[in-house]
Amino acid sequence: MYQIKQISAKETYSVRQPILRVGKPFEACVFEGDTHKSTFHIGVFSKSELIGVASFMKNKSELFSETNQYQLRGMAILKEFQQKGLGKRLMDEGENILSQNKVDLLWFNARDVAVPFYINRGFQTLGAPFNIPNIGKHYVMFKKLIY
């Protein structure tokens, strides 16, 4: 019923905009690192419609000592498809790809409303919450990957 496959950075914008950048111009959906060679994007499709996205970027945070780190950015599922396990499937696929490539750690800045979802996926928070202007309260989250 649902299919996950790798997509381009540009394809992610149609899902990022209505979920992560509501009311902002389409250009606000373009992230630094979207087109780097080491970055990959995955999408979940219902028939031929792209309904969820996640982007994984090679990016080392000074908060962690691991050498080979990736950052999750722009994880989003269209509203009418949320609560169907599709976010879990996207995360599982992304983590599998990272583990196959011997990535040690996945980290990201999670919106406060998404923290329980990620905790249920085995991620941990690090430090106090912080505010990203015009977006809201976030937590740094991470998981050490096994390969």
The CA-based angle 51-42-69, given to 5 degrees, is 135
CATH code for the domain in which residue 11 is found: 3.40.630.30
Write out the residue range of the structural domain in which residue 28 sits.
Answer: 2-144
Report how far residue 32's alpha carbon sits from residue 119's, in angstroms, rounded to the nearest whole number.
Answer: 26
Number of domains in the chain: 1
Q: By three-state DSSP, how is residue 36 classified?
A: coil
What's the CA gap between 1 and 56, in Å, rounded?
24
What is the pLDDT tens value at each position of the chain, 147 positions in all? 899 999 999 999 999 999 888 888 888 888 999 999 999 999 999 999 999 999 999 999 999 999 999 999 999 999 999 999 999 999 999 999 999 999 999 999 999 999 999 999 999 999 999 998 878 899 999 999 987
What pLDDT is attached to residue 110?
95
CA separation for the pair 41, 147 (Å, rounded): 20
Provide the 10 A C-beta neighbour count for residue 110.
Answer: 23
